[in-house]
Amino acid sequence: MLKKTIAQLDPYVPETPLADLEAQTGVTKITRLSANENPFGTSPAVQAAIQGFDFSSTRLYPDGDANALRQAVAEQLGVDPQQLLFGCGLDEVIELTARTFLEPGDEVVEPWPTFSEYKLHCQIEGAQVIDVPLAADGSFDAAGLATAVTPRTKLMWLCNPNNPTGTYTPLAEMRQLLRQIPESVLVLIDEAYMEFVTQENGSAVQLLREFSNIVVMRTFSKIYGLAAMRVGYAVIPKNLISAMQAVRLPYNLNSISQVAALAALNDTAFVAQMRQRVATARTQFAGFLDAQQMTYCRSQANFIFFSAPRAADLHQYLLMHGYLLRKGLRPGWLRLTLGSEADNAAIQNLIKAFYQSAR
Ligand SMILES: *Cc1c(COP(=O)(O)O)cnc(C)c1O
């Protein structure tokens, strides 16, 4: 009865609600640092906008084109509003991409490890996903990605900065990589964490005029602290946008989410402050890992991916002390979302204590 591609899927497991996890573990208060959420919250402008939402309009369908949000995002990015496609989270845009372009037997190329949802949705459509391992330092193997392309390749995913490594590929290197990919391959550049980059202002939005085969994706879930509202979007080449719009559900972005995302977008001071706080925490945490002589990937995102001896035990130890990290992305490695200054300090003390007691 099931379609063949569904039978062996490795589904994306959503985060356990914190109250359930606290009940299961008996730990009074758990701080989730496993989903790259913003530990500092959301712009107060968002709360004001939601409180100002006209309740009497609840009976009406939302604006199916999210026009106010569309205009504001287009202006901020310097793109044509008609090139934007919004989704119920970037997750939905990822699903839509697979749904629009892939047929059974098609091939998709991605670096590995990367965000697992790419593979999930490509496999549901019956495509074969070719994983090209990242270089040892976490950077893209550009030559490997280019050689993995065959006449059957339809899509290539490039997450920049990459999840889970946090590794950032500068714009010049991205341009070099894209030059090696045939125009017949649509390259999907997931910039969920681009706003956290302090190294240079290197969004692939700047490459949209140079390359006709790239899509740039963004989300409100990470730096804007709006994960609950489910808003993501993509900038799409003009010749492809109507096809993707046709596949999209007509009212996929609810009215309150549209209002919230617009308020978040306009609070540029909040975003700048978050970028600064996260960058400070990132440098501090990397310094701690250096001092402990632990191996990690250089991150430009709001998380750090590190190699931890006895990773499963450390994960459990941190959980029992109130901190949930992400495991299972690469054997022996954990991913930590940078938290508040106090939480980061507490975690560092716990890591030290764990390895001291193990000796
Ligand atoms: C979190 C994340 C997303 C999904 O974001 P939503 O907008 O919350 O669906 C997409 N891509 C990457 C790389 C992410 O880390």
Centroid of ligand 1 to alpha carbon of 353 (angstroms) = 33
Confidence of residue 6 (pLDDT cuts 50, 70, 90): confident
Domain with 341 in it: what CATH number?
A: 3.90.1150.10
Q: Are residues 19 and 48 in the same domain?
A: no
* Protein residues with CB under 6 Å of any ligand 1 atom: 36, 89-91, 115, 159, 163, 190, 192, 219, 221, 227, 232
Domain with 96 in it: what CATH number?
A: 3.40.640.10
Structural domain contains residue 166: yes
Q: Are residues 231 and 86 in the same domain?
A: yes
Structural domain contains residue 337: yes
What is the residue with the minimal CA distance to atom 2 of ligand 1?
A: 192
Give the pLDDT of residue 14.
Answer: 85
* SS3 annotation, the chain: CCCHHHHCCCCCCCCCCHHHHHHHHCCCCCEECCCCCCCCCCCHHHHHHHHCCCHHHHHCCCCCCCHHHHHHHHHHHCCCHHHEEEEEHHHHHHHHHHHHHCCCCCEEEEEECCCCHHHHHHHHCCCEEEEEECCCCCCCCHHHHHHHCCCCEEEEEEECCCCCCCCCCCHHHHHHHHHCCCCCCEEEEECCCHHHCCCCCCCHHHHCCCCCCEEEEEECCCCCCCHHHCEEEEECCHHHHHHHHHHCCCCCCCHHHHHHHHHHHHCHHHHHHHHHHHHHHHHHHHHHHHHCCCCECCCCCCEEEEECCCHHHHHHHHHHCCEECECCCCCCEEEEECCCHHHHHHHHHHHHHHHHHHC
For the chain, what is the domain count?
A: 2
Residue 359 has pLDDT above 70, yes or no: no
Centroid of ligand 1 to alpha carbon of 105 (angstroms) = 26
Give the global pTM. Answer: 0.96
Domain residues for the domain of 106 are 44-267
What is the residue with the minimal CA distance to atom 14 of ligand 1?
A: 192
Centroid of ligand 1 to alpha carbon of 34 (angstroms) = 13
Residue 252 has pLDDT above 70, yes or no: yes
Q: Are residues 307 and 248 in the same domain?
A: no
Of 215, 243, 267, the one marking the end of a domain is: 267
Of 233, 267, 301, the one marking the end of a domain is: 267
Q: Are residues 244 and 289 in the same domain?
A: no
Structural domain contains residue 117: yes
